[in-house]
Amino acid sequence: MHDIRTIRENPQGFDAAMARRGVSDASSSILSLDEARRAAILTAETAQAEQNKASKLVGAAKASGDEAEFERLRALVAEKKAEVAQMQTRAKELDAELTGLLMELPNVMHADVPDGEDEDDNVEIRRWGTPREMDFQPLEHFEIPAAKGGLDFETAAKLSGSRFVVMSGAVARLHRALAQFMLDTHIAEHGLTETWTPVLVREEMMYGTGQLPKFGEDSYKTTNGWWLVPTAEVTLTNIVNGMTVDEDYLPRRYVAHTQCFRSEAGSAGKDTAGMLRQHQFEKVEMVSVTHPDKSMEEHDRMTGCAEAILQKLSLPYRTVVLCSGDIGFGMIKTHDIEVWLPGQNTYREISSVSVAADFQARRMNARFKPAGGGKPEFLHTLNGSGLAVGRCLIAVLENGQQADGSVDLPEALHPWLGGKTRITAEGALV
């Protein structure tokens, strides 16, 4: 959410920032509501002062026997009391309307974010690894003989519908090993705190991280008002919801492995084959809570944590900065990491690492007390996939596939697979 004072002080600058997001003349309606809200508050305060003044005079008029003045003052007190109540109600209504409007507006992007319309305008900043040359036609993950028997889309469709999968055997174990490998690496080597959180959250938690009100259609809501998390970003970030912490509490770095749920609204007909885009999937999520002066540095550190997983798995990737037309609603800057998928002959997103600055903290009312004293300030929050487990499974299968239909598994995973090194064309882990 945005600071209304910043918009008041520099409406032209705010409009320019929103124009990069495709939002025109954003400040006029905001400032109009704000002016009306402030006028209602001032009217209520003035009426309250007049009510208090008249109330003090009522007793004196009664004591002096001036019945006419007593009745006039008593009527004035009642009139002002009603006016105060009316204006306070109006101010609350306008405040709620203003908050709702501010909640709908995206974050102001960092100056480093390149202009662009869509993902084609994202800017590559580095590339790691060289895609392996294969002397056969590489297959997509769901076509590889080693994986075919362990990926059952028909049974999943019977159980739940489209965009679900039932995994079994070697594929299921590989999927589990990947998640464990990611967690252990982030904890032991990157200093993140392992965290286990619910996947059902209150509605205000979804507001806190920006999934609501604008993107409710992208998530699932239960009949009793809980929401299924689209990512552990929601729970991990909201740990500091409503808190004011000491500066030495910062930074906080969390990692969690959870089930995630997305409706995939608007993606009809896109990535329908295989398990690239699912309604239910697993992700190892990283969240950092930092001092404002450290958030951009933390962004680079978190990107490095995600990249390190791919490097250990010997999976080629490239890292891009998202352009203005592709960046997420609540973020000021995002790095996407795209892993090489030989079956598709292209790079596909496997992680987004983003910095929200104080956008989420304002929605959550999360602050810190500066060590040198002074007024509490809003925290900065960041989040990133470390990594999407299912997509990592796809990358391991496709990059490790062999001409005979088997899959060679990354050496880094062998300890998490009981020393097993490959999946045979028949689907056995050996």
Enzyme catalytic residues: 262, 277, 349, 352, 391
Is residue 349 marked as binding?
yes
Cα separation, 201 vs 220, in Å, equals 11
Is residue 351 marked as binding?
yes
200-201, strands of its sheet edge to edge: 200-201, 227-228, 220-221
**Angstrom distances, CA of residue 29 to CA of 40, 94, 134, 223:** 17, 12, 58, 35
Q: Which residues make beta-bridge pairs with 193?
A: 254
402 Cβ neighbours under 8 A, 6+ residues apart: 408
Residues 27 and 5 sit within 8 Å (Cβ to Cβ): no
If one counts every other C-beta atom within 10 angstroms of the C-beta of residue 124, the result is: 12
Is residue 267 marked as binding?
no
Please provide the DSSP assignment of 24-75 as one string: -SHHHHHHHHHHHHHHHHHHHHHHHHHHHHHHHHHHHHHHHT-HHHHHHHHH
Q: Packing angle between helix 295-312 and helix 169-190, nearest 10 degrees?
A: 140
Is residue 263 marked as binding?
yes
DSSP SS3 for 4: helix
Cα separation, 28 vs 105, in Å, equals 13
Is residue 426 marked as binding?
no
Is residue 352 marked as binding?
yes
Amino acid (one-letter) located at 430 = V
Is residue 327 marked as binding?
no
| Closest to 275 (Cα-Cα) out of 362, 172, 368, 353 | 172
Cα separation, 400 vs 420, in Å, equals 14
Residue with tokens 């075919």: 148
Cα separation, 279 vs 370, in Å, equals 42
| Closest to 176 (Cα-Cα) out of 339, 392, 428 | 392
Cα separation, 183 vs 54, in Å, equals 68
Is residue 24 marked as binding?
no
DSSP state of 401: B
Helices (H), 128-168: 145-148, 153-159
Is residue 9 marked as binding?
no
Amino acid (one-letter) located at 292 = P
Which residues carry a binding-site annotation?
A: 231-233, 262-264, 285, 349-352, 385
Which residues carry a binding-site annotation for L-serine?
A: 231-233, 285, 385
Which residues carry a binding-site annotation for ATP?
A: 262-264, 349-352
